[in-house]
Chain A
């Protein structure tokens, strides 16, 4: 608020009262601090389930051109295992058809900038390139293009499944579904 101050020469000088402005500035500061979300930026990847499964559905149709990305669960020696976590020695092995993308333990031991970050392993780039090749060579009749199925064993940590799905989306493949849990591996 401006205050009038008489001067020796009869003119009036204005003196600004800064207190209310500082009040408002502090309030704005608190407001924007609270409004800022400190949570990580979250998104979502669409992956529809098979439409022709579940309640009252018929026999699922099989496309012979479909690509099935398998996320297998092996022990360190490369044999199927029933251990529950990577700490107990479980390892993820990525496979399409007969092609194996990584050896057991390779993902779990991978470090990036001094941290264990399997999400940064080159195997995901390799998977992407493979998917692009499949997509470009697709000769099926589906309107949505190459169908891809992600088939992960139940013990596989979710981050590996998301990484595989991430590469499918990067390869601009529209028809991606998850294998139903009851499908035998």
Chain B
């Protein structure tokens, strides 16, 4: 009888939230790490320093900037984790896809500006491209990307740069 009366006197059980918060935080951390690893649009490169470099504009949908990574080690160009090349021999051998061809397909998804007077072709593309190149790599590699862009009427280009001063503050 005494035992029963004690049970009756106990307050209502309250849910213990701490383990749930623990699990939620652990899940957040897990998904953050997983998403970071799957972020293939930006390759690990040593960028050149430029204090005037601006933050990328917040664009959405079709106006999103295409990141082109010019790799120094293997001589390839990576876009969204896929390797492309500008080397005609490698394209002919079927080893890698052509960057110019890829950009041509990508550009079809973007609007075009009014044709330039005197030019028979379509107007320039509104597609934006950001070129990320290794600071010690030859500019020729960037020029090859420029060339592929120009062939497809893409002129809105930018170069990625690091804002961290190599000489320190």
Contacts and interface: CB of A to CB of B under 8 A. Distances in A.
Interface residues of B, number: 61
Interface string A81-111: 0001100000000000000000000000000
B3 interface: no
Interface string B150-169: 11111111111111101110
B77 interface: no
B143 interface: yes
Q: Is the interface of A mostly helix, strand, loop or mixed?
A: mixed
Given A56-B119, A56-B121, A181-B147, A166 B50 contact: yes
Interface in B124-147: 124, 130, 133-144, 146-147
B119 A52 contact: yes
Contacts of B7: none
Given A50-B150, A55-B151, A166-B50, A42 B163 contact: yes
A123 interface: no
A48 B54 CA distance: 15
B118 interface: yes
A158 B135 contact: yes
Nearest to A181: B143
A41 B157 contact: no
Contacts, number: 194
Interface string A40-76: 1111111111111111111100000000000100000
A30 B116 CA distance: 55
B71 interface: no
Given A31-B29, A56-B120, A165-B159, A119 B49 contact: yes
B25 A49 contact: no
A144 interface: no
8 contacts: A31-B25, A34-B29, A46-B157, A48-B156, A55-B151, A59-B118, A115-B167, A181-B140
